[in-house]
Structure 1
Amino acid sequence: MWLLRGFPAFSASSGLCLNKTKTDIYFNGMPGTTMANILQVSSFRKGTLPFRYLGVPISSKKLSKNECSKLTERIVAKIRSWGTRHLSYAGRLVLVNSVLTTIHTYWANIFLIPNGIMNKIDSICRNFLWSGKDSYARAPNVNWKTCCTPKEEGGLGIKNLKEWNKALLGKYTWWLAAKKDHLWVRWVNHVYMKSGDWHDYTAPLDCSWSWKKIIQVKESFKAAYVGSQWLNQNKPYTVDAGYQWIRSPATKVQWRYTCWNSLNIPKTSFIYWASKLERLLIRDRIARMGFGQETTCYLCEDGTETHHHLFYECEFSKQCISILQQRLCIKFPPQSFDQWCASGRGKSKLQRKVISACVVGLAYEIWHARNIARLQQQVCRPDILVCRIVTNVKHRWSKNNHSTLQQRHKVWMDNLG
């Protein structure tokens, strides 16, 4: 009754009026006569759980897949709105990273999303990346676990959504460990913690599902909380730091500097990435998958078409590499280029970036020429192919950089052609 008396006072001070036709009241553990009296006095409707508040399902029990289906429906709707566009792999990757994997963030900030829904979201994103559709249309070239590793470790930088969800919830456990002055922290301490030790606390059997999941997340971060500090540093907890803590780091790949150079055209970086992992659908790989028997190289018609042959040993590729080396005034075995680029010996930062972009562009153009030869039985001239690579790199540099070149760099860029 005290709450009902507070509504008129709130309306008088704020000017906001209560709409009884849009207001529900929820009961828990009350006798039927008490509930009937409250409904009669308030004129509110009796609500039932679960209900939606600001688009999020509110429930005292574990959320079912059906209750979370709205999340996957929003992601599918986004993909279908892009269905008429002809997007490259790189274009789809940008949409996966910037749109699809962030739609769930609002929900993931509030509760631990069921594994079934997270697996469904992963499946939708994977299908869109490799086929442009929300449903399964073709087998992916690279497994999703590899795609969800950072670029410097050989992946595509897509977030692992399950681990990102835990990192988002980690801020609640950090508030409790650091004893932040929040109303929610006070309430939890009063209802659950009873002023006990947070590090040794275990959830009681009769607590809510949401609280059990927060305690489950707490166990994942327990070793990182040193007293009231994060990783024994004078720095607060951040979601990105929590994500890096909870995931399993891998060895950094040497070709990361070449593949993800800022001067690269995105679609060329994607093909170069797939070639480094040897996941392009070349003839030898298709034959090993059981979908064909012919393995002869399309470009030179001499030798088995493997990744190594196509990009390094094919006569067509050798001619392209030789012409490009002359244009760039460099000489080294193509297989050791990534090591040379990482060391940066003998060239300035600008020169290394331009050379890297040309090498990545060469891999893309060789792959493109191979596909043209497969479909149209025509092979492009190597000098025309190399000229196109250098022109594209110089054009991209001119569009993305407006600083004045040093004289030696200007001469070097002009000599490229």
Structure 2
Amino acid sequence: MSNHIWRLLSNKKSLWIQWIHAYRIGDRNFWDLPVPYDASWSWRKLLSIHHLVRKFFFFEVGNGENISVWFDNWCENGPLSEVISRRSIHAAGFHPNDKLCDIWHNNAWTWPIERHNLYHVINNTNQVIIRNTHDRLCWRDLSGNLCPFSVNIAWNSIRHCATDVDWFYIVWFAHCIPRHSFVLWLAMGNRLKTHDLTTRQSALDDHHILVWDRVRNKMQLQIQQHVCSDVASELAHITHCKSARVIEAKLLLGASVYFLWQERNARIFKNQTRSVDKLMEVIFSTVRLKFMSLRWKNSIQAQTLKASWKIN
């Protein structure tokens, strides 16, 4: 969405941009548009995120011909429309569509003197330098640095940042099975709604413990825990390792949590059950199919692992 707003404000040459300017924006400024109830979802979404992204779009002043003096973000005080109302703009003899070059001449505002005392933001915005260059739209990140727009920079500026967790590379890695990793990610945050292996119950279901014990033996790692987060903590010291044995452990952990969660849902909502042997068959066959799609190194460990999974 931020990319679309960037293209609109930059007035990129495309049929879509021209259509939007002709039939949606017209003679108004993008930041001044209300959110219509009868517009398409995409257009309403673009307008509804004004408050999230507006502060990041910043104009470097050139000749001032493409900068809305009221609605664009071009000075450190922010958009002037946030402190100066439309009524005040009209009362001073100006128009909401005025550009910066229209009211700034000879290094001074053409704003009436009596209004200077009313709006101190005008007095604080007295360092405008009009140049004989084009105005440049930039992205201003959280540190206040101006840079060209990119989706990566925009995402890092807008998203909520939290501290890194030690189990990240256990859940997400190059050879993961996405649906397994997603459910495992939910489990690590205690966000699964059903009572499965990942919950801290006083007495875990014997059925699930038997499944996990077999999976743990297959991993051939010294793991003593049954709770998902505790298992991940025990694996934390090898998260960055890319050996075949570690990849096997990660895939088995993800598949176990996924199919145990699936089994518990089937029992609660469908009254269906599978035996331990059937669950183990599903888990191991899924991991084996994933292994068959990988490219193996010609190492002793890799060949041993292929033999244990009966992969030619």
Shared fold, TM over 0.5: yes
Distance 1:238 1:361, change over 3 A: same
Displacement of 1:314 = 2.0
Q: In 1, distance between residues paired with 2:307 and 2:75?
A: 65
Displacement of 1:251 = 1.8
Q: Are residue 369 (structure 1) and residue 271 (structure 2) matched?
A: no
Q: In 2, distance between residues paired with 1:309 and 1:211?
A: 65
Matched AA of 1:322: D
2:201 to 309, 322, 329: 309
When the two chains are superposed, the root-mean-square deviation of aligned CA atoms in Å is 4.3
Over the matched positions of the two proteins, sequence identity in percent amounts to 13
Cα deviation per residue 1:228-247 (whole Å; 9 max; x = unaligned)?
Answer: xx5xxxx7564433442454
Displacement of 1:275 = 2.2
Equivalent residue for 2:39? 70
Displacement of 1:354 = 2.2
CA contact (8 A) 2:167 2:239 kept: no
Distance 1:209 1:270, change over 3 A: farther
Distance 1:199 1:337, change over 3 A: same
Distance 1:349 1:407, change over 3 A: closer
Displacement of 1:198 = 4.5
Distance 1:337 1:239, change over 3 A: same
1:252 to 164, 168, 171: 164
CA contact (8 A) 1:260 1:269 kept: yes
Q: In 2, distance between residues paired with 1:308 and 1:63?
A: 50
What TM-score, normalized to structure 1? 0.46
Equivalent residue for 1:292? none
Q: In 1, distance between residues paired with 2:283 and 2:191?
A: 23
Matched AA of 1:409: A
Q: Is there any run of 5+ residues in structure 1 with no aligned partner, and where?
A: 1-50, 76-103, 119-160, 180-184, 284-296, 298-304
- Secondary structure of 1:379's aligned partner: coil
- Secondary structure of 2:80's aligned partner: coil
Distance 1:267 1:54, change over 3 A: farther
1:354 to 248, 257, 264: 248
Equivalent residue for 1:286? none
Displacement of 1:326 = 1.7
Pairs within 5 Å for 1:218-229: 221=141, 223-225=143-145
Distance 1:384 1:220, change over 3 A: same
Comparing 252-261 and 200-209, the one that deviates more: 200-209
Q: In 1, distance between residues paired with 2:296 and 2:282?
A: 24
- Secondary structure of 1:252's aligned partner: coil
Q: Are residue 320 (structure 1) and residue 200 (structure 2) matched?
A: no
Pairs within 5 Å for 1:113-192: 113=47, 117-118=48-49, 163=52, 165-166=53-54, 170=57, 173=58, 176=60, 185-188=62-65, 192=69
Q: Is there any run of 5+ residues in structure 2 with no aligned partner, and where?
A: 1-18, 90-94, 101-124, 126-136
Q: In 2, distance between residues paired with 1:333 and 1:346?
A: 21
Matched AA of 1:254: D
The structure, 1 or 2, with the larger RCO (C-alpha pairs under 8 Å, 6+ apart) is 2
Matched AA of 2:144: A
CA contact (8 A) 1:320 1:382 kept: yes
1:341 to 235, 238, 246: 235
Q: Are residue 413 (structure 1) and residue 292 (structure 2) matched?
A: no
Q: In 2, distance between residues paired with 1:367 and 1:201?
A: 50
CA contact (8 A) 1:199 1:222 kept: no
Distance 1:411 1:53, change over 3 A: same
Displacement of 1:166 = 4.0
Distance 1:369 1:239, change over 3 A: closer
What TM-score, normalized to structure 2? 0.59
